[in-house]
Amino acid sequence: MDTVEEVAQRAKNAARELRMLTRNQKDEALRVIAARLKAEKDFISTQNHLDLEAARAVGTSEALIDRLTLNGARIEAIADALIDVAALPDPVGEVVRGYTLPNGLQVRQTRVPLGVVGMIYEARPNVTVDAAGLCLKSGNAALLRGSSSAYNTNVALVEVMRKALVEVGIPADAIALVPGHTHESVNDLMKARGLVDVLIPRGGASLIQNIVNNSLVPVIETGVGNCHVYVDKDADLNMAVNIVLNSKTQRVSVCNAAETLLVHEAVADTFLPELFAQFKARSVTVHGDEKMHQHAQLAGVNWEPVNDEDWAAEYYSMDIAAGVVPSVEAAVEHILTWSSGHTEAIVSSCAPTIAYFTSAVDSAAVMVNASTRFTDGAEFGFGAEIGISTQKLHARGPMGLTELTTTTFIVSGNGQVRK
């Protein structure tokens, strides 16, 4: 078996060729990969079934099983997402700014690929394709290290994509799977400074923090999604019910699902009975304060007393932490204390309250009268996304093609020398 260093070196060599590709070449490659994935979906599904069987055998939760599942419909969807990416503008070569200095030098700051992008991620084999596609479109080589739980699926996906690259004359090593499925291969990847230009971890808090704290390769930190919805005293309560339900229950196994609900005390007695009737129908468990307990009892909703672990939790399940607050200021204070900096939402019709909330909350995305589920690269019009960054450098929020580039200053003169 090749070592991580050998695979990374080949990816670096491939990245040098990718820098020179035209948009047409990259877009054609994406379309061919999409066609190959669709043609091979039975093979991919069979390999995914092996991973699902192994996951169920060790008692993996249904939420994580959902993340791991890659059936025919989902394969079609990720292939279609590649076609969408092909239709997006190519960021490479874009002039960020340009000007002429008094001495006649022409300065252009131009977008260029990062080089080799390493992805370390858990479950979610769709990330294998999304990351590879976005890296290819932005001129980067993708070095992929999925979890052992999706090993068979990821091997199949990468095999199909590499064959498609060869078909269009692009080095197969532009998309590569990191060899091995133990922690040693992750450690080796984190040490590959000089071969890998950036690492992007996607997964639980422990995975992300391990990489952030120990990697020698620069890291873009993607975030745990402890997302909040605040229902203000001036909210349209029917709208609020729909937003909370969509944020929490539309899909629980994703980072932009709501994990905490805060309700202004002035509307709690009116709002909570309707919401909790919907929660009961969906078997949502509320981890709440005493006010929430009273309404949960009346509605027959599962209730547990809330604690600090609940306020900090990313549940990945039909659970939500919930509390009643006396003001928008109290809601913001709670969010600043417990949020992971991913996405927060306010439901209100009061412009000054909305302005205060959006200014005071310090997260990658803030939703006003909309579901937290919209924090997503595809929903933002990026095509697919490679992750959602909760740090402030070099990218924040959903990361699409632009966030996979850096810049080069190109300075043109006609013989100028510095005095």
Strand partners, 388: 398
Which CATH number is 335's domain given? Answer: 3.40.309.10
What does the alpha-carbon distance between residue 193 and residue 86 come to, in Å, rounded to a whole number? 30
Residues 249 and 334 occupy one common structural domain:
yes
Q: What are phi and psi of 370, to 5 degrees?
A: -155, 160
CA 280, CA 150: separation in Å to the nearest integer? 34
Residue 125 contacts residue 68 (beta carbons within 8 Å): yes
With CA atoms as reference, report the closest residue to 387 among 370, 375, 399, 403.
399
Which pLDDT does position 266 carry in this prediction?
98
pLDDT of residue 203: 81
Question: Is 384 a member of any domain?
Answer: no
Domain contains 331 = yes
Answer whether residue 114 is part of any domain: yes
36 and 110 belong to one structural domain: yes
Question: For the packed helices 183-190 and 4-18, what is the interaxial angle rounded to 10 degrees?
Answer: 50
Same domain? For 359 and 399 the reply is no
Q: Residue 281 domain-assigned?
A: yes
DSSP type of residue 415: S
pLDDT at 224: 80
Tell me the CA distances in angstroms from 240 to 193, 267, 300, 346, 349, one per residue in order: 48, 11, 21, 9, 11
Task: Report how far residue 67's alpha carbon sits from residue 333's, in angstroms, rounded to the nearest whole number.
Answer: 33
Strand partners, 120: 145, 201
DSSP conformation class of 83: H
What distance in Å separates the CA atoms of residue 117 and residue 134, rounded to the nearest whole number? 10
The pLDDT of residue 36: 98
216, 319: one domain: no
For residue 418, tell me if it sits in a domain.
no
Same domain, 205 and 248: no
Q: Note whether 264 and 209 are same-domain residues.
A: no
- 77 is a domain residue: yes
- Considering the domain architecture, whether residues 267 and 327 belong to the same structural domain is answered as yes
The tokens for 352 are 């000054």
Q: Are residues 63 and 202 in the same domain?
A: yes
Are residue 200 and residue 244 in the same domain, yes or no? no
Regions of the chain where pLDDT drops below 70:
1
Quote the tokens at residue 324: 């009643």
As a whole number of angstroms, the distance between CA 263 and CA 107 comes to: 52
The pLDDT value recorded for residue 223 is 73
Is the same domain home to 14 and 87?
Answer: yes
183 and 239 within one domain: no
Q: Which residues pair with 238 in a beta bridge?
A: none
Reduced DSSP (H G I as helix, E B as strand, rest coil) percent helix, strand, coil of the chain, to 5: 45, 20, 35
Residue 205 is predicted with a pLDDT of 81
CA 135 to chain CA centroid, Å, is 14
190 found inside a domain: yes
DSSP letter (8 states) at residue 60: -
Q: Is 289 within 8 Å of 325 (Cβ atoms)?
A: no
Domain span including residue 280: 227-374
Q: How far apart are CA 343 and CA 270, in angstroms?
A: 26
pLDDT of residue 381: 83
Residues 292 and 260 sit within 8 Å (Cβ to Cβ): no
What DSSP state is assigned to residue 148?
G
Share of the chain above pLDDT 90, in %: 89
**Domain containing 102 — which CATH number?**
3.40.605.10
What pLDDT was estimated at residue 222? Answer: 85
- For residue 232, the model assigns a pLDDT of 98
**Starting at the edge strand that comes first in sequence, how are the strands of the sheet with 116-121 ordered?**
175-177, 141-145, 116-121, 198-202
Q: Decide if 382 is inside a domain.
A: no
Query: What pLDDT is recorded for position 359?
Result: 98
Q: CB atoms < 10 A from the CB of 93, how many? A: 12
Residue 157 CA to residue 28 CA, distance in Å, equals: 18
Tokens of 47: 């390999």
Q: 27 and 173 share a domain? A: yes
Number of domains in the chain: 2
- What is the distance between the alpha carbons of residues 300 and 94, in angstroms, rounded to a whole number? 57
pTM, entire model: 0.88
